[in-house]
């Protein structure tokens, strides 16, 4: 157990930490990890409000996690519940009240909500104590609900949360509220940038952009673990990569709709024009002022390079479209980039982008089934893709599939809430 001094330090640290994270998914992960640690809680979840519903957006469960092989992630389903007094989270959101329950299986008859034991049945878990707080912003809107579950004593025994925990978790929920609002704004600005510019083909939605961002982070994390990259470095890079990968095709704003939305294969000339979306995108980030600019430039410029040197645009200065000094090919041509000459984030997003493009409907193609998609990626190892990146891709495939369910195409039937 922590002493008071350590607790105070941790309270300050948590607020500082979460204010550094800019991407919403990674932010929820960071908040829950810190808050669980603070209360020595085995599990926890965050729901985000979506109009009149709460969407189960992020979840952790330490004892379930322990049963998995090292490095594997717990897969959970997203679902929505209405904001009303029937459920614990619904009650907390509706009444903006903190709820501290010693045992969810013996809830007092005087309250309207009940615990839905389906949660435990599905996840094969026994929830006992629960502390749930509303996440509220400065304008007093409810943004969501944070729950921590099963406080543990020094010997791992499950305890109720203490009444002194209540003001503390409210403090964390307030810090979380500010950070969540900012991160949602960042994500929405990126999505709006993409849609306003009519970058999107009618069949290419925000869901695609979100998926490529989320896939990239998972593949990178897996690759980085194999390469023994320090955790702090990986955490920092994940945050910028998530947003940069969402913008990989931002250069398509400069491509005419006639080409972008052509419901057929492109001619060679059209494809030459299409290729410019890489360096045109890179130019948007040329005044490098932050890690984000740097990574976004790397991704936009390099996501169509291929491991065997057959990709585009090659060793080009995106500004002048001239070869980089020392990389001039014969009579003014560009030398291709190959292997580790291609920046890491270019190699990551290449796999994420193609995986998503193959599984999805495009103006010019039908979605491929899973077997065909995976076979194509396997066949492209060492040709299109870095073999280490493909290894990372297959190691986290189950997580990638759960991301696809989380961000379904709008025209596909939604998964039923369970």
What is the three-class DSSP state of 310? coil
Give the helix, strand, coil percentages of the chain, each rounded to 5: 50, 15, 35
Q: Does position 403 bind ligand SIN by CB under 6 A?
A: no
| Region 9-38 residues binding ligand SIN, contact defined as CB under 6 A | 24-25
**Least spacing, CB of residue 138 vs ligand C2E, in Å:** 39
- Asked if 385 and 351 count as a contact pair (C-beta separation under 8 A), the reply is yes
Using CB under 6 A, count the residues that bind ligand SIN: 17
Nearer of residues 375 and 412 to ligand C2E, judged by Cβ: 375
265 interacts with, out of ligand SIN, Fe ion, ligand C2E, none, CB within 5 to 8 A per kind: ligand C2E
| Region 244-263 residues binding Fe ion, contact defined as CB under 5 A | 249
Q: Does position 184 bind ligand SIN by CB under 6 A?
A: yes
Long-range contacts of 118-127 (CB under 8 A, 24+ apart): 118/418, 122/77, 122/418, 123/61, 123/64, 123/76, 124/64, 125/43, 125/61, 125/63, 125/64, 127/43
Q: Angle 116-117-120 (CA atoms, 0-180°, nearest 5)?
A: 125
- Dmax (CA) for the chain in angstroms is 84
| Region 344-383 residues binding ligand SIN, contact defined as CB under 6 A | 353, 356
Distance CA 50, CA 414 (A): 15
18 interacts with, out of ligand SIN, ligand C2E, Fe ion, none, CB within 5 to 8 A per kind: none
**Least spacing, CB of residue 218 vs ligand C2E, in Å:** 18
What is the rounded end-to-end Cα distance, in angstroms, of the chain?
A: 37
**Least spacing, CB of residue 353 vs Fe ion, in Å:** 4
Nearer of residues 105 and 364 to ligand C2E, judged by Cβ: 364
Q: Does position 239 bind Fe ion by CB under 5 A?
A: no
Nearer of residues 53 and 85 to ligand SIN, judged by Cβ: 53
Q: How far is CA 139 from CA 82, 98, 144, 379, in A?
A: 22, 18, 14, 53
Instruction: Classify residue 409 as left (phi > 0), alpha (psi -120 to 50) or beta.
Output: beta
| Region 55-94 residues binding ligand SIN, contact defined as CB under 6 A | 57
Q: Which region, judged by CB under 6 A, interacts with ligand SIN, from 69-77, 128-136, 162-170, 204-212?
A: 204-212
Q: Does position 249 bind ligand SIN by CB under 6 A?
A: yes
Among 25, 222, 353, 409, binds Fe ion (CB under 5 A): 353
Q: Tokens 């989320």 — which residue? A: 214
Q: Does position 200 bind ligand SIN by CB under 6 A?
A: yes
| Neighbouring C-beta atoms of residue 160, cutoff 10 Å | 16
> At 282, which helix (H) or strand (E)?
helix 277-283
**Residue ranges that bind Fe ion, judged by CB under 5 A:** 249, 353
**Residue ranges that bind ligand SIN, judged by CB under 6 A:** 24-25, 48, 57, 184, 187, 194, 199-200, 204, 208-209, 212, 249, 252, 353, 356
């Amino acid at each position: 157990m922590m002493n008071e001094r350590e607790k105070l330090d941790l309270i300050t640290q948590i607020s500082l930490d979460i204010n550094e994270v800019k991407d919403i998914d990674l932010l929820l992960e960071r908040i829950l990890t810190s808050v669980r640690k603070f209360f020595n809680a085995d599990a926890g979840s965050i729901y985000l409000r979506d109009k009149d519903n709460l969407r189960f957006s992020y979840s952790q469960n330490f004892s379930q996690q322990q049963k998995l092989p090292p490095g594997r992630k717990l897969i959970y389903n997203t679902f929505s519940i209405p904001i009303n007094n029937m459920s614990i989270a619904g009650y907390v959101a509706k009444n903006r009240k903190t709820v501290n329950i010693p045992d969810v299986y013996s809830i007092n008859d005087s309250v309207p909500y009940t615990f839905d034991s389906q949660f435990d049945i599905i996840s094969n878990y026994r929830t006992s104590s629960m502390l749930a707080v509303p996440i509220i912003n400065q304008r007093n809107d409810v943004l969501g609900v944070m729950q921590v579950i099963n406080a543990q004593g020094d010997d791992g025994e499950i305890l109720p949360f203490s009444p002194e925990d209540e003001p503390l978790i409210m403090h964390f929920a307030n810090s979380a509220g500010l950070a969540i609002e900012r991160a949602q704004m960042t994500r929405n600005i990126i999505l709006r940038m993409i849609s306003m510019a009519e970058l999107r083909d009618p069949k290419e939605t925000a869901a695609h952009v979100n998926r490529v961002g989320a896939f990239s982070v998972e593949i990178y994390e897996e690759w980085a673990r194999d390469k023994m990259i320090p955790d702090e470095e990986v955490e920092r890079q994940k945050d910028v990569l998530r947003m940069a990968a969402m913008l990989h095709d931002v250069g398509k704003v400069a491509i005419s709709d006639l080409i972008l939305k052509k419901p057929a294969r492109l001619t060679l000339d059209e494809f030459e024009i299409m290729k410019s979306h890489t360096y045109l995108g890179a130019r948007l980030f040329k005044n490098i002022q932050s890690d984000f600019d740097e990574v976004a430039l790397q991704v936009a410029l390099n996501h169509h390079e291929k491991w065997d040197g057959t990709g585009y645009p090659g060793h080009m200065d995106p500004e002048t479209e001239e070869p980089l000094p020392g990389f001039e090919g014969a009579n003014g041509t560009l030398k291709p980039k190959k292997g580790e000459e291609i920046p890491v984030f270019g190699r990551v997003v290449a796999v994420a982008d193609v995986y998503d493009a193959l599984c999805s409907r495009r103006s010019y193609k039908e979605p491929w089934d899973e077997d065909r998609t995976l076979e194509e990626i396997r066949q492209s190892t060492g040709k299109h893709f870095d073999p280490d990146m493909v290894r990372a891709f297959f190691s986290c495939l189950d997580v990638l599939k759960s991301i696809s369910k989380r961000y379904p195409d709008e025209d596909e039937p939604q998964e039923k809430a369970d």
